[in-house]
Chain A
Amino acid sequence: MPMLLSVIALAGLFETLVTPEMIQSVFKGSLVEDTLIGTGIGAVSVGQPFLSYVIGGELLDEGVSLYAVTAFILSFVTLGVIQVPLEWSLFGTRFTLLRNSLSFIFAFLIAISTVYIVGLLS
């Protein structure tokens, strides 16, 4: 219970301190770099899943690539820096490391594949 309360309290802190403007400012225009940044930013962002679509839509309007936005909305839900301590305490180091590493790698790979396939379809 204390760990769960910590995660909730951390989520409140992150939701207030990490603003959409801060997220927008870190993208640089390079495709690979931005996709990696999108994955990383999604991992530290907190909130309802629909927020990632809204922020993602704003990022697209600002000229950020769909690769980066896709990676961001994916890692927003599959990765969570603030919940790592709870995951680690319940599932152990090996599981936590493996699951989060795979989520990070696959957010990148799925982003690239999704945009590529959608490009082929349209």
Chain B
Amino acid sequence: MSRRPARALAVILGVVLLSPIAVAAADHHELEMDVGVVSELGEMVELRVTLRDADSGTRIPHAMVVATRQATIAGVTGDVELARATTDELGVARLRWQQRVGVDHTVVVAYAAPGEAGFEFAEIEFAVIGSERQIHRSTAGVKIPGFGAWVLIGLIVVVWGIIQFTLLGPMLVARRFEAVETDDASGGSS
């Protein structure tokens, strides 16, 4: 079995085993979140949120729903917005984002019904698999036959070879004459 279907199976199992539906109740509203709480790194996550009135059970349309998670960048911690959507006539909002976090984490869902002041919050835990994957891969550029790092290496070797040749040439000649002179001097003295 290749790794990709295996990961997909793990996602499915995770979704089945780890409660596909989360319900959060706030003061005035009830939030139903339909999502696989196991997600795969780099894949798209779709969080389906249904918003109801807590008393009457009536679905609430035209409400703003925002998904955020906490992140720390260079020592500064804050909320990173993942996605936002507005509930439709059936009170359903679909939030989609790419899973970029390589570890299990909490996503905070904030919602505000029309006419209400301020947001209410609910949390959902995400388990992430495939954290060994590299999400961002640059695509290969234009490949020109015969052009690559070896051309650069060859050029460098030629340049260094010329430098060495120019340095060693006069040195060897000078040393040769120095040796001849030393021989002459010792021959003359003997």
- A and B pair up: no
